[in-house]
Structure 1
Amino acid sequence: MAKQPMLKFVKVERDMPTKRAAEERRADFQEIYAEYADAKAKEQSSRCSQCGVPYCQSHCPLHNNIPDWLRLTAEGRLQEAYEISQATNTFPEICGRICPQDRLCEGNCVIEKSGHGTVTIGSVEKYITDTAWDEGWVQPVKPARERKESVGIIGAGPGGLAAADMLRRQGVQVTVYDRYDRAGGLMTYGIPGFKLEKPVVTRRNDQLEKGGVRFVLNCNIGEDMSFEEIHDQHDAVIIATGVYKSRDLAGPGSGADGIIKALDYLTASNRKSFGDADDGFDSGKLNAEGKKVVVIGGGDTAMDCVRTAIRQGATSVKCLYRRDRANMPGSQREVQNAEEEGVQFEWLTAPKGFTGDPVDGVIVERMRLGLPDATGRQMPEVIEGSDYIEPADIVIKALGFEPEDLPTLWGVPELAVTRWGTIKAEFTSGATALQGVYAVGDIVRGASLVVWAIRDGRDCAEAVMRQLNGASAVAAE
């Protein structure tokens, strides 16, 4: 009888890949987790209970076949594991690194709920795909036949690139337009290297380009090209711009020099990691070295900012968040990493104003949690008379992102938007009110996760194919 390769969670404990010491990782922008060795990946995969109702799969936005590729990994069938993994996920090596697994697959693992510690799903996913790249299993797309139809995609972030990949596999001619000089969107310029090293992104971009995806970079729609031009050139258009407009701060002194946007700060840091010149960084405006840094916000972007500031050599880094630790939206794993690296969190605090110009301090008011709001989260309330001043040389606003006014910027008033400014689009297909125009990712759902953008891009590509196949059938009649 063959030996049972699974269900070993009762005797094999959860074991994450080795994490580099905080003092070591503070000095560079390299990823903080080591790779699994083959034996360790098999061992941790073998802990999966192969449960009848895999909550890990149902709580993954892509509904990845997680139990299947865990079993294949435990059995040493890595190429098959990779094929199963990439069948539902365009960028498994990226999701394995940056998905908040503690809130998604791992947080809903059945054996985690039973007290045995979750399977290390994200780390195994990363291992499988990195092995696939090393072994040459990841190849450029080679469609069975080329089609004459073309699709223009505005935005080279995860949603746009996922759609591009799926459409090229069907032989569609795809052109991706993006405002930046490199494809990848926030994966390239928003997420720091210690979470997602840039060669991981650039090799995917290269693979797509070798597979026939055409990139038009440094292209601002509404300036370098009009939306109408793109619409006229293609059989369908997918809008995948993301949301880049930073939410602002109010209060006295909020316009002072030294109060900066999170995305500007992270983009400058990532440009330096590519070896580019950056005026904001080089002038010191977007560089935390030798400065007291205060970051305002409690999401994943705030965590990226505080951990970047530590690596740049800030003298102190503090994070202000108006709720407590249990109610913050960012990954708890990221908070722990930040604390290990020297970040101080000031829970239940909010900025009331700022002193100095250039800024030299944040007027902070202490908060307490009151009654729940409509979503069930307790609302923060100000504790009167609790104000104090937190010294700061740089204040980074990491309060989230909002959509730009695309109908105005692009001169397309008929492009319908919601009251939040996001594009109105049909659920799953991404179809808008404009014929042949679709929208996916954050520009539809608001600031969200990379994995949701990938899901939207893949779903939209299916809808576009239905449109193109329908048009082809009509033309053939």
Structure 2
Amino acid sequence: MAERMLQFVRLSQQTPEKRAATIRREDFDEIYQRFDPARASEQASRCSQCGVPFCSVHCPLQQNIPDWLKLTAEGRLEEAYEVNSATNTFPEICGRVCPQDRLCEGNCVIEKGFEAVTIGAVERYINDTAWEKGWVKPPRPVRELEHSVGIVGAGPAGLAAAERLRSQGWQVHVYDRYDRAGGLLIYGIPNFKLEKDVITRRTAQFEEGGIVFHLNCEVGRDVTIAELREKHDAVLIATGVYKARDIAVPGTELEGVVPAMTFLTASNRKGLGDAVPEFDSGALSAEGKRVVVIGGGDTAMDCLRTSIRQGAASVTCLYRRDKANMPGSMREVHNAEEEGVRFSWLTAPEGFEGEGRVTGVRVTKMHLGLPDATGRQQVEPIPGSSFVEPADLVIKALGFDPEDLPVMFNEPALKVSRWGTLAVDRRTMMTNLPGVFAAGDIVRGASLVVWGIRDGRDVAERIAEYVKARETVPQAAE
């Protein structure tokens, strides 16, 4: 079947159709249509099946991408799903939210000259088909083990670890302070990128497979780390990072200046049918307002595009560098531009203006200077360039830092790094507390969903190794 591949020489890249910007900005539905079988097969056949697959090398999960592309091109879709899901706990989610333009597709061998294979769209097609056909099964083990693990955090890292350990027969208990499992996936990412039933069907399947969720359960208030250590053979902390970074300028206390996650959570909860008084009162709604978002990452893009859909009068993004230096996905920037977002490049806030409530952002123009030690150009203000950007709602999307977990968990012995992330042995992924592991953003800092999945899968192996080794070592007599 090799003749089916290497079709990039005759077939051009075709991405899934997008709904028109004028239509999609009116709702929160996903913007990309699905490939039909013929188109998926054609686009998968463009893969060059290269000897060194840089797409796999640059995927945090090191997926066997050429293999499942070839199987898709040959119409062997169930096999493609099996290969894809063998290395990825949530392929249907990665196909939607991964910044493929910076990872697999951005490193596709044919990208220069022929345009990359549409890896993300094919992955989504494979896995949406797998769900429809009933190929996706709950993580039911062949045999049950007595080992148990307590996982703190029901985000990508925690859920990936839960699935791996449950598949091996472990008794898995997941503790989360929110009322739904999913973490950032459920409350941080808007529906137009990731519809919520994609997440809820997966967590429902995990429950069906025997994973026990303890929701609305806050460690440090409802249960302690000491109690979890007593109850389980191992404990995994995978809480993510949720503390919003702030900006030290005058006026941050004004009404109408809000953190990104506060804004996104309110919008997502409203979409889920929850009562959200702050949204209904208008405090966290962009409707009819002049919205300014500060930041240039994917969270900023989510806030900008959510504001458009909520009916904002205008939506402006302030970013202190230029477009080429934005940390977010260029695909997301392009989508935002299509939907009517105005970008103000090389612009940095100096303060927020208003009496009680924000009325504008005082900004100054910047220019790019010499590169710093990392090679990235420094930004420097242009004297006398200040002006006021009118605003009724300002959303700060400046990134996230770890919460103070030793204080939150009432576990002062838990060691953290100088950045506030949990300190772990990089080989074992264990914290300074024996049997307590950590993975995901709470260790590496704010990162991508796919890295959370990778860390969750890795730490599951380390946990299993730790418990097995402990069982084989004779215990000292008391």
- Relative to structure 1, the CA distance from residue 412 to residue 9 in structure 2 (aligned partners, 3 Å threshold; closer, same or farther) is same
Contact in 2 for aligned 1:288/1:309 (Cα 8 Å)? yes
SS in 1 for 2:363: strand
Look up the equivalent residue of 1:301 and give its one-letter code.
Answer: T
**Range with greater deviation from structure 2 (414-423 or 154-163):** 414-423
Q: Does 1:243 align with 2:241?
A: yes
Q: Distance in 2 between matches of 1:229 and 1:439?
A: 17
Determine the C-alpha separation between the residues in 2 that align with 1:236 and 1:398: 35
Q: Which aligned pairs between 1:94-105 and structure 2 lie closer than 5 A?
A: 94-105=93-104
Bigger drift between 280-289 and 63-72 goes to: 280-289
The match for 2:343 is: 345
The letter of the residue matching 2:468 is: N
> Secondary structure in 1 aligned to 2:3?
coil
1:217 alignment partner in structure 2: 215
| DSSP 3-state at the match of 2:421 | coil
TM-score, normalised to structure 1's length?
0.98
CA–CA separation in structure 1 for the residues paired with 2:2 and 2:435:
54
**What residue number does 2:178 align with?**
180
Q: Distance in 2 between matches of 1:204 and 1:431?
A: 28
Aligned partner of 1:84 in structure 2 is: 83
Mapped to 2, the partners of 1:227 and 1:347 lie a distance apart of 46
Identify which range, 428-437 or 14-23, moves more after superposition. Answer: 428-437
* Counterpart position of 2:35: 36
Larger mean Cα displacement after TM superposition, 2-11 or 84-93: 2-11
**Residue 150 of structure 1: aligned partner:** 148
CA shift for structure 1 position 475: 6.8
Distance in 2 separating the partners of 1:379 and 1:250: 19
- Residue 3 of structure 1: CA displacement? 6.8
User: Aligned residue for 1:455?
Assistant: 454
Pairing 1:416-455 to 2, within 5 Å after superposition: 416-427=415-426, 429-455=428-454
Q: Residue in 1 aligned with 2:414?
A: 415
Cα distance in 1 between the residues matched to 2:436 and 2:53: 36
Percent identity between matched residues is 65
Is the CA contact (8 Å cut-off) linking 1:430 and 1:456 kept in structure 2? no
Q: Which amino acid aligns with 2:255?
A: D
Note if contact 1:407-1:414 (Cα within 8 Å) is conserved in structure 2: yes
Equivalent residue letter for 2:275 = A
For residues 2 and 87 of structure 2, the distance between their equivalents in structure 1, rounded to whole angstroms, comes to: 29
Q: Deviations over 1:220-267 (max 9, x none)?
A: 111122221112111100000000000012212121111001000000
1:208 maps to 2:206: yes
Residue type of the alignment partner of 1:446: G
Q: What is the rounded CA distance, in whole Å, between the counterparts of 2:307 and 2:6 in structure 1? A: 43
Measured in 2, the distance between the counterparts of 1:133 and 1:473 equals: 41
TM-fit CA distance, 1:172: 0.4
Partners in 2 of 1:104 and 1:395 — Cα distance? 31
Measure, in 2, the Cα distance between the counterparts of 1:276 and 1:374. 47
Contact kept in structure 2, 1:18 and 1:33, CA below 8 Å: yes
After TM superposition, list the pairs within 5 Å mapping 1:75-474 onto structure 2. Answer: 75-113=74-112, 115-356=113-354, 357-427=356-426, 429-474=428-473
Q: CA deviation at 1:476?
A: 11
TM-score normalised by L of structure 2: 0.98
Secondary structure in 2 matching 1:133: helix
Q: CA deviation at 1:269?
A: 0.3
Answer whether contact 1:45 1:74 (CA < 8 A) is retained. yes
Q: In structure 1, what is the Cα distance between the partners aligned to 2:345 and 2:424?
A: 37
1:468 deviates by 1.9
After superposition, what is the alpha-carbon deviation per residue over 1:250-296, rounded to whole angstroms, capped at 9, x for unaligned?
Answer: 21212111100100000000001111111211111110000000000
How much does 1:427 deviate?
A: 2.4
Aligned-partner residue type, residue 165 of structure 2: L
User: Any stretches of 5+ residues in structure 1 without a counterpart?
Assistant: none
Q: Deviations over 1:446-473 (max 9, x none)?
A: 0000000000000000011111222333
Task: Give the Cα–Cα distance (whole angstroms) in 1 for the partners of residues 6 and 431 of structure 2.
Answer: 46
Q: Cα–Cα, structure 1 residues 274 and 428, in superposed 2: closer, same or farther, change >3 Å?
A: farther
Q: Deviations over 1:79-98 (max 9, x none)?
A: 00000000000000000000
Gaps of 5+ in 2: none
Aligned mates of 1:283, 1:9 — CA distance in 2: 53
Task: Name the amino acid aligned to 1:58.
Answer: V
Cα contact 1:163–1:458 (8 A) shared by 2? yes
User: 2: distance between equivalents of 1:333 and 1:22?
Assistant: 14
Mapped to 2, the partners of 1:3 and 1:238 lie a distance apart of 44
Displacement of 1:335: 0.2
- For 2:130, the aligned partner's letter is A
Amino acid at match of 2:103: L
Residues 181-204 of structure 1 deviation map (CA, whole Å, 9 limit, x = unaligned) = 000000000000000000000011
Residues 314-350 of structure 1, C-alpha deviation per residue, up to 9 Å, x if partnerless?
0000000000000010000000000000000000001
Question: What is the rounded CA distance, in whole Å, between the counterparts of 2:441 and 2:129 in structure 1?
Answer: 30
User: Secondary structure of 2:110's partner?
Assistant: helix
The more displaced of 191-200 and 246-255 is: 246-255
Residue aligning to 1:62: 61
* Residues 247, 18 of structure 1: alpha-carbon distance in 2 compared, 3 angstrom cutoff: same
Structure 1: which amino acid aligns with 2:334?
Q
State the Cα deviation string for residues 158-181 of structure 1 (Å, max 9, x = none). Answer: 000000000000000000000110
1:405-460 deviation per Cα after TM superposition (whole angstroms, max 9, x unaligned):
10112121221111110001122542111100110000000000000000000000
Distance 1:428 1:45 in 2: 37
- Secondary structure, in 3 states, of the residue corresponding to 1:147? coil
* Bigger shift: residues 216-225 or 360-369: 216-225
Query: Could you say what the CA RMSD is over the residues aligned between the two structures, in angstroms?
Result: 1.2
